[in-house]
Structure 1
């Protein structure tokens, strides 16, 4: 499994895929992406699922760009639904890979980290994972693999990931829907686009405030 992971990461950079997953490429090939999505919607959604599954199990960049691309292809609403659903499934795939194939090795190799995760779950319960999803302070794949060796159930992991990733998916899909409409310098100053970048800027602060509010409510109750 380790050899396959190394080979996949090496192939990702050897094939120059990290340049494909960029804002510049999305803008330059926007018409091609949109045309393909319109003619092959099922295949496009499957492609998003595969992309999130890979980014959820391997240290590959591009999860945010994938969400932006979903917004560029399907608009804010459609992009949010596609990115939110396939992102949660891809994350759960990484969780399952860790739990059923790598759990023994990860538990031995990272015994201290696994103990800290279990302590966090015992202290905060589902809020522990929800906070990590809402505040992207750790890489996407690392959260999935780490919780695979924890005591959390897979169904709970999927549900909490779905909820915690939803706000970010909406923000980035909304930004992608606005970026896809840029065809001149005039569009740079459009209210919709400026609003999208404003959401990107304030999202971490809103997420922190939401986490504090939930924790305060738990302590009171």
Structure 2
């Protein structure tokens, strides 16, 4: 009876771990990389610049015709463009709120803009959280872990304050919460409620844009009749966002913050708000 030759010991399984780990990282990064590439392509071709006041003036009658003939299809197309702009973090998404008011009136246009902006924000939030947000949270050190716990305790309040007082760019407010592990429900609700004042203000300004564009066309015609060489559009966004309108938005935002600040003050004083009691 012969003995079997000794077999080589099996290779340690850990040696195969780096490759699957790298593949998982690449798969996680795909959404963000895809969004970045698509945004770069749009910026490089200048397609985003067609969504502006000059483009709106050039296509004014055509867009009005679309709304009159196919209101539902036009609304869906508008919402799709808005979601695309926000999810790709393209500049000028706020201008689409103005266009919403111009095309559909301040109420319907503002509502469409709020829903579309929230949808786009949720998409980029999910992409960022899936790609890098979860990994950052898992690898957080003690100091970052304490910060994350404090943030999550009042995440909705913090997020709502940032939305109501838009001192930070919209796209930053979409990405940062994903990187610190904010819950999707808090993010979506705070975004939806927080952007209502400024979005409806832009839509309200857009509803009055038609009259201003008519006056602009008359001014251009008079300029050309006088033989002037340069008769380009002089209408600017500052003509729409009057100090009175922006003051009203600021007042509404501050009033909306009062319940949050009151709740925070009660919490710091060790008093539980009535709705938190069992």
For normalisation by structure 1, the TM-score amounts to 0.79
CA RMSD in angstroms, aligned pairs only = 3.4
Q: Is the alpha carbon distance of 1:100 and 1:48 closer, same or farther for their aligned partners in structure 2, counting shifts above 3 Å? A: farther
Q: Give the count of matched residue pairs.
A: 216
Aligned with residue 71 of structure 2, among 28, 33, 41: 41
Q: How do residues 157-168 of structure 1 correspond to structure 2 at under 5 angstroms?
A: 157-168=187-198
Gaps of at least 5 residues in structure 2 are 1-29, 220-237, 267-272, 274-278
Structure with more contact order per residue of length (Cα contacts < 8 Å, sep ≥ 6): 1
Correspondence 1:22 to 2:52: yes
Q: Is the alpha carbon distance of 1:113 and 1:19 closer, same or farther for their aligned partners in structure 2, counting shifts above 3 Å? A: farther
Q: Alpha-carbon deviations, 1:137-185, whole Å to 9, x = none?
A: 2222222222224443322322221111111111000001101222116
Maintained 8 Å contact 1:118/1:150: no
Q: Alpha-carbon deviations, 1:33-68, whole Å to 9, x = none?
A: 222233333333333333333333333101111111
Maintained 8 Å contact 1:49/1:89: no
Partner residue of 2:122? Answer: 92
CA distance in 1, matches of 2:201, 2:112: 13
Q: Is the alpha carbon distance of 1:21 and 1:214 closer, same or farther for their aligned partners in structure 2, counting shifts above 3 Å? A: same
Maintained 8 Å contact 1:91/1:144: yes
For normalisation by structure 2, the TM-score amounts to 0.65
Q: Is the alpha carbon distance of 1:70 and 1:187 closer, same or farther for their aligned partners in structure 2, counting shifts above 3 Å? A: farther
Partner residue of 1:103? Answer: 133
Give the structure with higher Rg (CA): 2
Q: Of Structure 1 and Structure 2, which has the larger fraction of its residues in helix?
A: 1
Gaps of at least 5 residues in structure 1 are none
Correspondence 1:202 to 2:253: no
